[in-house]
Amino acid sequence: MGFHLPFTASLPTNYEGLSRCFTYRQIMPTQIEQLVKHFEHEDSISNVEAQAVYRIRALPRRIADLKEKGWHFSAVWKTDLTGQRYKRYFLVSRPAN
C-alpha cells in the first residue's frame, strides 16, 4: 500500500503525456543555457548563487563545460562574513561567433 495523493493518478509517470503539447526541453532550459543567460547580465557567479537561483549543484563542472565551448573565466577565493571560503567565477571572455 503506501501513501498516495488523490491527484497523482492523473499525472503521467513519464514525459510521454506531455509530448503532445510540448517537450521537456521547452519547459526547462539546461544548466548551461541558464548560465549563458546569467552571464548576459552579470559578470560573476558563486556556487551558492548557482544553487539558490538556478538549482545548479555542480557549478565547477558547468564552468568546465563552458570552457570547453571557448568561454574564459577567472576564479577568486573569497571569504563571507562568517569566515566560510567560497570561489567566485568571473567571466573574462565569450567565444567568438
DSSP β-ladder status, 72-79 and 85-93 = antiparallel
Of 16-20, 59-63, 78-82, the one with minimum mean pLDDT is: 16-20
**Under a CB-based contact definition with an 8 Å cutoff, are residues 73 and 91 in contact?**
yes
Task: Name the CATH topology of 27-93.
Answer: Arc Repressor Mutant, subunit A (1.10.10)
- Work out the average pLDDT over 7-33: 61
What average pLDDT does this structure show over 2-19? 48
Query: What is the rounded distance in angstroms from the CA atom of residue 77 to the CA atom of residue 21?
Result: 45
H or E stretch at 86:
strand 85-93
5 against 31, higher pLDDT: 31
CA–CA dist 25, 40 (Å, integer)? 21
Band of the pLDDT at 4, cuts 50, 70, 90?
Answer: very low
Average pLDDT over residues 26-42: 91
Q: Which amino acid is at 16?
A: E
- Report domain extents, the chain: 27-93
Q: Is the confidence at residue 28, as pLDDT, over 90?
A: no
pLDDT at 94 over 70: yes
